[in-house]
Homo-oligomer: A and B are copies of this chain.
Amino acid sequence: MALAVKPQEALDLWRRALVTTVRSGGADLSARQLAVVLTVYMTPPPHTVRGLASLLKISKPAITRALDRLTALDFARRRRDEQDRRNVLVQRTVKGAVFLSDFSSVVAAAAREV
């Protein structure tokens, strides 16, 4: 089901949602960090450091640091892969789900105002 959004509407939607989140002064995630959370929660597992790095085309250390931040916020969790103990699997948390739920409400509310 494709959403029909005109370019002008797209910008206005983004602006309203962005202003709301900036004003709220909340979690203050960078674009990369937010992209990581969204990917972990909305695309099928498993999620590894290397997989996320190649998906987002950024360096491995950048993913490691993003995960450091996200685990500190309790928005994600690391777990060793028992099948291949070199891998680290990124998993969801309740707090992360709540954060994304709130965030989606902000975007949906912004869409209603466009």
Contacts and interface: CB of A to CB of B under 8 A. Distances in A.
Interface stretch (A50-58, A68-76, A77-85): A50-58
This protein's copies in its complex: 2
B105 A7 contact: yes
Chain A, interface SS category? helix
Chain A interface category by residue count:
35 or more
Interface in A10-39: 10-15, 17-19, 21-23, 25, 28, 30-32, 34-35, 38-39
Given A3-B9, A38-B14, A101-B7, A55 B107 contact: no
A108 interface: yes
A111 interface: yes
